[in-house]
Amino acid sequence: MAYTSKLLCFVLVAFLVASVSEARKRNTTNIQFYMHDSPSGPNPSAVRVAGQPVNATVSNNTDASMFGFGSIYVMDNALTATPDINSTLIGRAQGLYAIASQENALSLHMTLTYNFVSGIYNGSSVSVVGQNPVMNEVREMPVVGGTGVFRLARGFALAKTYSMNQWDAIIGYNVTIIPYY
């Protein structure tokens, strides 16, 4: 009888683990969008708040020293459905990024939240914290949490530069969000 009880218990546990695993697969969310990062021009969406002084002889924000090691930017970037800035606004990327590499290859440390403002995710958010080696074709950063329908979420964000014009960039994101159970 003890053997039968142990076998039954094992089968029940295996079934529950498989059920939870299958439920998580079904509820994984993939969201694709484009972030518009503009640290230059008359209406920047990212503003330098700390770092080495920018060369005083240069009158615009395109001096190479604006992206020197230790520079920190606060951002409030539009998230759109397509690369066109006039396409549907799905949210805002708010947070900060810092130039975190002393080497030639530009690498950022990013702490940001994607706040969704339309569609079925309106009012929810996903937070990302991690290194973004921007010279790599595709970069992966961890999703460390969220709010609303994404409360306590985890997952990852894949970033790929769609276009870059001097310092302004459009970055495509493919975010995979796994809900917490």
Confidence bin at 54 (pLDDT 50/70/90) = low
Token couple for 107: 């690498």
Is-above-0.85 flag for pTM? no
Token couple for 13: 């546990």
46, part of any domain: yes
Query: What's the pLDDT tens digit per position in 14-50?
Result: 444 444 455 445 589 999 999 999 999 889 999 999 8
- How many domains, in total, are found in the chain? 1
Domain with 51 in it: 28-178
| CA 133/CA 137 separation, integer angstroms | 9
| CA 101/CA 107 separation, integer angstroms | 5
21, part of any domain: no
Q: Is the pLDDT of residue 11 over 90?
A: no
* E strand or H helix that includes residue 8: helix 2-27
Q: Which residues, 6 or more positions from 158, have their beta carbon under 8 angstroms from its beta carbon?
A: 138, 139, 140, 173, 174, 175, 176
| CA 97/CA 108 separation, integer angstroms | 6
132, part of any domain: yes
20, part of any domain: no
- The share of the chain scoring above pLDDT 90, in percent, equals 62
**Residue 37, domain CATH:** 2.40.480.10
| CA 78/CA 26 separation, integer angstroms | 29
Query: What's the pLDDT tens digit per position in 109-125?
Result: 999 999 999 999 999 99
